[in-house]
Amino acid sequence: MAASLQDMFLVTVICESVLQDRMVKLLKNSGASGYTIIQAVGSGRHGSRMGDIAGFNTNIEIKILTSEEICDRLIEEIKPFREKYALIAFRQPVEGLL
């Protein structure tokens, strides 16, 4: 018997690793039920982030599957961090098994 897919949003945040604890607190307070964090390297508008020195010049990628309501709340709560830190965030509508 095939399980049904649920409509949800995938929020992806790529930010400086120094924000990890603040992002986790924000996610928990927003009502997100879970998240995944991985180390990220790359280059873009904010320069290169190669993670070659532990704790310096490093990025993380945070992925959250959630409802549209929580997605909207997260995006709004993340916006102020862009003023001081390298951070991008985007969302995608997805279907998934939970």
% of the chain with per-residue pLDDT over 90: 68
Residue 53: predicted pLDDT: 60
- Mean per-residue pLDDT of the chain: 87
Residue 4: predicted pLDDT: 87
Comparing C-alpha atoms, which of 66, 61, 11 is closest to residue 34? 66
Q: Domain ranges for the chain, please list them.
A: 14-96
List, for residues 10-54, the tens digit of each pLDDT value.
999 999 999 999 999 999 999 998 999 999 876 666 655 555 566
**What CATH number does the domain located at 14-96 have?**
3.30.70.120
List, for residues 62-96, the tens digit of each pLDDT value.
999 999 999 999 999 999 999 999 999 999 999 98
82 Cβ neighbours under 8 A, 6+ residues apart:
none
Q: Hey, is 85 helix, strand or coil?
A: coil
